[in-house]
Structure 1
């Protein structure tokens, strides 16, 4: 164990010493794996799983460490075991293809009797990751301020970090992202002279697209790194005079806007603050105005099961994050706005799986360059797992993403 590993990745560097929990984990995993079309292979040559020779292979390199991590914290230990190299995909297996059968059976892979014990193992969201104004800024910085250079190496030229909308499998990612941006702006009725509020600037692609339509755009972010590069993008696109970028929390926005747009930002708001988020949108939306939000979602029963648990994604990728269900969004609108309702839904779930595959391919292709920015091998495995894990979730239908148009109907 190196000092660097222990400092940067304490959860990975130290293998939990929980022999009893490890035995329990092994006893639970084996029958579950034997129902899946995959192969778990071990150093001694044994194999588990219902898959044949051509099935996706999961190589368990350090069985004792793997089961110890699973037993210690199932929701976090599986990903940490991959980061540590306790397991990996087989030489002829794509990681997302391996994870997809797990995602397809995520709600049934654990026996019902054991699912009833979930409350005993679920961890609550840490208090410092709550999405207060201070907490939100810290949570966003931990992901989006990692390095603009990093994101430039795997996103399309517009640096759009959300699901694209593909017309065909071989379409360029840049063109598919442009279609997605236009889909949001079309839903919100953005055109010449429209006063637009964008909640969550990203690196500026949606604001640029809106300004190119002749809109006057106010875009807000709490990421200083994103803001700096977005301003450069506005200058390069020749639209700086039509965009007002503010380092501002959505809770502090004032004014009146004909359209409010927000692309995959609601996942970072947190359930506790959804009422505030939707009430603020309602407050600043002009009479007759429209809203378009692109939101990652999950089925309502899954949201109810996972809403109070802390997992690998929250620990390592999106601290403070929570994915809503469509029903949870509808309920927040009904209870905290003056008649805003969803009037159009467009699903891009399978498009997101394709988007994530493109990002991962480019991330891996450019890894030698990315590593020069100070990212280590554990970080590479973390991001490979993150991108593949999410791809599997969308490919299996466990997750979806919608472009949602909202209007006042009363």
Structure 2
């Protein structure tokens, strides 16, 4: 259902242009691009039955629906910037849905069919390369981490569970009716610590501290933990939580790049860190893991993955997520992990996937974020940010629900693959 809206020529008066320049600015009307976008998007939405019927009309089927409030701006953005424009149009309030994750799941499940094959060769017309400045050099990695994880500890507390764990949980059963998110996060952490063989006296290295929950649970088992992060906000709160638990003598939180690891460890654990490393630095990441491992040691990783062909396309493309959420990051394929870990002298001894559990985790995060909008507003995050964050959570959930994405726990040990 199209509900045309009036906007000032070339911009949105209701968006802070200083904070959100590309959301405030509506791309100029390029007749050819806009017409192609109108045709392709309309064709896809009609075929997937995602367009809401006119007011008062009964839908032919029951399912998620997309409602256009400003179709001209919507098609201009998609025609000019593809999927980034699609997300920015949502941030600008130019379209909505009563089931955002549902709409995005349908689109993710048919992503390879949305553009007719002959037009896929023209993909370069509406996608752009990743900015060179987002590369994860030592300085770049620190800046990229700060742009996400240093937004505000209170922001993350508004939608995470009390453990402040920002990675996939593992539930007893799905959907998660009889399991709290906190207990499901502890189940995930305990599986990783078991995989790594962490116990009394274990020298354990964690790459990517988060807010300290894994380090706390490892220390409670009797391990001596060194945990690394580049986020000053996370480090400060993690130290507070560790001290409050009386475990400061067992956990050393360091502001340190993974490339600067010192010492050898019986166990190394890294949870959803590889996605932030960037493809250029995966060799350095796995080399650092191998270098940190004492003889007979074990490495437990949790990693989001995507198909190898999709990874290669994403690596060459500036995406909504790389622009607004995780600059410099890239989700690896299982093939990429296997190749880079083997090149560093590691072999995969175990590999278990549980993507449907990440979809459930993200659903719960999104529900909590929506329920705590007044808190988020009070922290100074404007409506455009809130729509961006909601889109990011729903977009990620859709990736796992459609099986475009997966999440896996892997055990790596010394030696080459058999």
TM-score class normalised by the smaller sequence? over 0.9
Whether the aligned pair in 2 keeps the contact of 1:42 and 1:60 (CA below 8 Å) is no
Cα gap change, 1:333/1:211 in structure 2, threshold over 3 Å: closer, same or farther? same
Q: Give the aligned partner of residue 8 of structure 2.
A: none
Give the match's secondary structure for 1:8: coil
Q: Give the aligned partner of residue 316 of structure 1.
A: 324
Give yes or no for the alignment of 1:368 onto 2:379: no
Q: Give the aligned partner of residue 387 of structure 1.
A: 393
Whether the aligned pair in 2 keeps the contact of 1:83 and 1:378 (CA below 8 Å) is yes
Give yes or no for the alignment of 1:76 onto 2:84: yes
Counterparts of 1:402 and 1:294 in 2: how far apart (Å)?
6
Give the one of 300, 303, 328 matched to 2:336.
Answer: 328
Whether the aligned pair in 2 keeps the contact of 1:42 and 1:59 (CA below 8 Å) is no
Within a 5 Å distance, the mapping from 1:5-404 to structure 2 comes to 5-20=16-31, 21-40=33-52, 52-89=60-97, 93-168=98-173, 169-170=176-177, 171-335=179-343, 337-338=344-345, 340-404=346-410
Give the match's secondary structure for 1:245: strand
Whether the aligned pair in 1 keeps the contact of 2:87 and 2:320 (CA below 8 Å) is yes
Counterparts of 2:48 and 2:107 in 1: how far apart (Å)?
8
What's the CA shift string for 1:268-289, capped at 9, x where partnerless? 0000000000001101101110
Whether the aligned pair in 2 keeps the contact of 1:42 and 1:61 (CA below 8 Å) is no
Whether the aligned pair in 1 keeps the contact of 2:69 and 2:94 (CA below 8 Å) is yes
Whether the aligned pair in 1 keeps the contact of 2:305 and 2:332 (CA below 8 Å) is yes
Q: Which runs of 5+ in 2 are unaligned?
A: 1-11
Give the match's secondary structure for 1:241: coil
* 1:408, distance to aligned residue in structure 2 (A): 1.6
Give the match's secondary structure for 1:110: coil
Counterparts of 1:123 and 1:240 in 2: how far apart (Å)?
47
* 1:38, distance to aligned residue in structure 2 (A): 2.1
Counterparts of 2:60 and 2:273 in 1: how far apart (Å)?
41
Counterparts of 1:37 and 1:350 in 2: how far apart (Å)?
24
Counterparts of 1:189 and 1:251 in 2: how far apart (Å)?
24
* 1:203, distance to aligned residue in structure 2 (A): 0.3
Whether the aligned pair in 2 keeps the contact of 1:296 and 1:400 (CA below 8 Å) is yes
* 1:119, distance to aligned residue in structure 2 (A): 3.5
Cα gap change, 1:280/1:380 in structure 2, threshold over 3 Å: closer, same or farther? same
Give the match's secondary structure for 2:144: helix
Give the match's secondary structure for 2:205: strand
Q: Aligned pair count?
A: 401
Cα gap change, 1:46/1:15 in structure 2, threshold over 3 Å: closer, same or farther? farther
Give the match's secondary structure for 1:380: helix
Give the match's secondary structure for 1:6: coil
Aligned-residue RMSD, C-alpha: 1.7
What's the CA shift string for 1:180-214, capped at 9, x where partnerless? 00111111111111111100100001111111110
Whether the aligned pair in 1 keeps the contact of 2:258 and 2:285 (CA below 8 Å) is yes
Give the match's secondary structure for 1:7: coil
Whether the aligned pair in 2 keeps the contact of 1:18 and 1:72 (CA below 8 Å) is no
Q: Which runs of 5+ in 1 are unaligned?
A: none
Give the match's secondary structure for 1:125: coil
Whether the aligned pair in 1 keeps the contact of 2:79 and 2:126 (CA below 8 Å) is no
Whether the aligned pair in 2 keeps the contact of 1:41 and 1:60 (CA below 8 Å) is no
Counterparts of 1:175 and 1:218 in 2: how far apart (Å)?
24
Counterparts of 2:290 and 2:107 in 1: how far apart (Å)?
39
* 1:346, distance to aligned residue in structure 2 (A): 1.6
Counterparts of 1:314 and 1:59 in 2: how far apart (Å)?
26
